[in-house]
Structure 1
C-alpha cells in the first residue's frame, strides 16, 4: 500500500484530503506543522509527501529542502493557496516535484500522485546511470553536473531539465515536449517557466565556459549542441 504523508496546518483540509485518499486506497498519515512533518517523514517509509507552504514552525519550502538533503527521489507535491509564477518557481527550486493550488479536485490530486509515483520508479531504474555530452557529465546517483572538471550545483528541476536535454542532445526540443516530459502533462505551458529554467541553465552550464551548448531555435524550441 502506498504511504502518503500530508503536512497541512488547516485541519479540515488535511482531514478531508486524508479521508479521500484513504477511500482511493492509499495509506495516509497527517502532520499539522513543519517539525511534526519532518519527524513523521524520518520515522516512516513514506512514498510521497503532500505539503502546504504556509506552515507553523517550519514552512513547506524549508521542509522540502530538508527532505531533499538526504532523499532525492521521494516525490513532494506542494499544495497551497499561493499560485503566482514566482511562488511556483520557489517551490520547484526547494525540491518540490509538482504544485497544486487550493481549492483542488481529489481526482486531479490522485492523477498527480500516480504520475509522480511512476516517475519515481523510472528514476530508481536509472539511479546510477551516468550521462554525458561533450565535456558535460551528469551523474544520476549524486544528482550533480560536471563540466570540464568543474562541479555545477543545480536545483532539482534544473537537473531534470538538463538531464532530458543531454539524453536528447543534437535534437530540437519544443516547449511542449519539455513541458510534457520534464513537468509532465500538468505543466501550465501558458507561463514562461521553461524559458526561465533554460536561462538558469545557461548561466550555470554555458556562461563560465568558452563553448556554448544550450541554443535557441527561434519558433521551434531549444537544443543541446556544440554547434551554434
Structure 2
C-alpha cells in the first residue's frame, strides 16, 4: 500500500515497550512503509513535528504523559491524522474515552499484528491517503491475490487455498523477490505461536508449491540456509 501519489506511507509507532514497538514497526516495514518510533509522549510529539506522519499507532499508557494528551496535541498539529490507539485496558469507558479524544480506532493488548496492519490500511483508505481500488490486489507475474475477496488465480485459473496457505502466500506476495527466512515467516504468518518450529514453514511451503507451481514454471524458490523467495516465473 502506498500513498495516492505513489510514495511510501509514513507511520509513527508510539509505545514504551521496545519489543512490541519493534514488532509493529517490522510488520509495517514489510508493507513497504517508512516507520519511525517513539517511547514516550515528548518524543512522539517531536517526531510528529519533524516528520509529519500519515498515520500513528499510539499506546494510551506512556511513561511521561497520557497517550490521550498526546493524541490531543497530535490533533492540533494535524486535525485529520489517522490514529490507532493501543491499550491494555478493555473497558467500555476506556474505549469511549479514547474515541472521544479523537482516536479513529482502538485495539486492546494483546493483539494480532495482522489485525493492526489491516486496521491501519482501512484508516488510510478512509482518510483518502491511499486509493482503495488497486490496493486490494497483489500481483506477481501471472499470480494474482485479491485481499478483499480472498480469491487467488494464476494465469487466470482459480486456486483454492486454506486460511493458513492464503496468509503465507499473501506474505510472500507482499515481499516479491525478497528472501524471507523461516523465522520471519513464523513471526509474520503464525504470530509467534509455533516457537521456532521451522518445520511447519517447510510443510506449508510444500503445500503452496503443489497448488501454485504444479505443472507450471516455479515461482516459489528455496535458498538453502537463507529462506524462501517468490518471484515471477521465467
TM-score by length of 1: 0.52
- Asked if 1:75 is matched to 2:82, the reply is yes
**Correspondence 1:182-193 to 2 at 5 A:** none
Q: Residue 49 of structure 2 contacts residue 77 of structure 2 at CA under 8 Å; is this kept in 1?
A: no
- Aligned twin of 1:221: none
The structure whose RCO (Cα within 8 Å, separation 6+) is larger is 2
Aligned residues: 123
Of 21, 29, 33, the match for 1:26: 33
**Correspondence 1:76-155 to 2 at 5 A:** 76-121=83-128
Q: Deviations over 1:64-107 (max 9, x none)?
A: 01111232111010011111100001001111000001111122
Paired with 1:84 and 1:68, the residues of 2 have a C-alpha distance of: 24
Paired with 2:82 and 2:18, the residues of 1 have a C-alpha distance of: 22
The worse-fitting range, judged by mean Cα deviation, of 8-17 and 113-122 is 113-122
Q: Which runs of 4+ in 1 moved over 2 A?
A: none
Say which one has the larger Rg.
2
Of 41, 44, 47, the match for 1:40: 47
C-alpha RMSD of the superposition:
1.5
The worse-fitting range, judged by mean Cα deviation, of 90-99 and 15-24 is 15-24
Paired with 2:76 and 2:32, the residues of 1 have a C-alpha distance of: 30
Q: Any idea what SS the aligned residue of 2:111 has?
A: coil
User: What are structure 1's unaligned runs of at least 5 residues?
Assistant: 123-228
TM-score by length of 2: 0.51
